Amino acid sequence: MEHETYIRIAENASTAVLMIHGIVGTPAHFQALLPLIPESWSIYNILLDGHGGSVEDFSRTSMEKWKTQVAQQLDEILLTHRRVLIIAHSMGTLFAIRQAIRCPDKVCGLFLLNVPLTPFVRPKAAVQSVQMALGIPENNCSSRAMEAASSVQLTPKLWKYIGWTPRFWELLQECRATVKRLPQLKTPTLTFQSRHDELVSMRSCKYLDKHPYITNAVLESSGHFAYSKIDTVLLQRKLKEIIKKLASQK
């Protein structure tokens, strides 16, 4: 899958799936889950503004543009569909929670990967990011997954990334705001936090585990971008279960 929006509209569908990737991410992150979506459901796997292009394109976008884009996309879907299941990764999970609170009667479920309520960048991830920009990534699973997860065309001219600083500051602010907003969530939610996440602390689980509408699971052998085979099978099984449950609710 290329780094672009993928839309499949099923005729007379009452249910749609909205997929939202993370910061600097790509719709391709959900490739292992896409085949599980029933043909009778519509799919909107969106590319956020400023992604899929250059470093400069990403510098010119903003958190407000992303939030507006997601809200507008959801509103557009609801013009022709009765309900929406949101699947999201990392930063996208923050938008998913926001929209579920905004449209509690229309968002029928959340399936969230690596929710960044307490971000924490491990030194290894910082080093790998610089190596990627310079075109010398390590030849290991984590590094390859991080490279594949980026939709932005990287450049070795490191000074150009200064323009990214506001985007990541805005992300931190949205993480904090989501922690405060979380008690308002009333939508059935499945969350999956990776034990070896390079960008999100396991402290996020303390907020997820105590929430009455959230069922949280730990992916014991996965990172923020790279999921082990056993954890991928778990994710697929859990998504099949929620799809079956929703399909039974006519």
Residue 110: inside a domain, yes or no?
A: yes
In the block, tokens 């999201």 appear at: 88
State the Cα–Cα distance between residues 151 and 26, nearest whole angstrom. 5
Q: Element (H or E) spanning 167, and its range?
A: helix 165-181
Amino acid 84: pLDDT: 98
What's the whole-model pTM score? 0.93
CATH label of the domain that carries residue 64: 3.40.50.1820
Residue span of the structural domain in which 216 resides: 6-247
Amino acid 161: pLDDT: 85
Amino acid 81: pLDDT: 97
For residue 87, with 0-12 CB atoms within 10 Å meaning exposed, 13-18 middle and 19 or more buried, which class applies? Answer: buried
Instruction: Retrieve residue 21's tokens.
Output: 């990737």
Report the domain count for the chain.
1
Instruction: Retrieve residue 180's tokens.
Output: 């405060």
Average pLDDT by consecutive 10-residue portion of the chain (250 residues)? 88 97 95 96 97 93 97 98 98 98 98 95 67 63 69 85 92 97 98 95 96 98 94 98 92
Residue 1: inside a domain, yes or no?
A: no
Residue 224: inside a domain, yes or no?
A: yes
Residue 203: inside a domain, yes or no?
A: yes
Amino acid 153: pLDDT: 87
3-state secondary structure of 8: strand
Amino acid 148: pLDDT: 73
Residue 28: inside a domain, yes or no?
A: yes
State the Cα–Cα distance between residues 142 and 55, nearest whole angstrom. 22
Residue 207: inside a domain, yes or no?
A: yes
Amino acid 3: pLDDT: 85
Name the residue among 33, 16, 14, 43 with its Cα closest to residue 235. 33
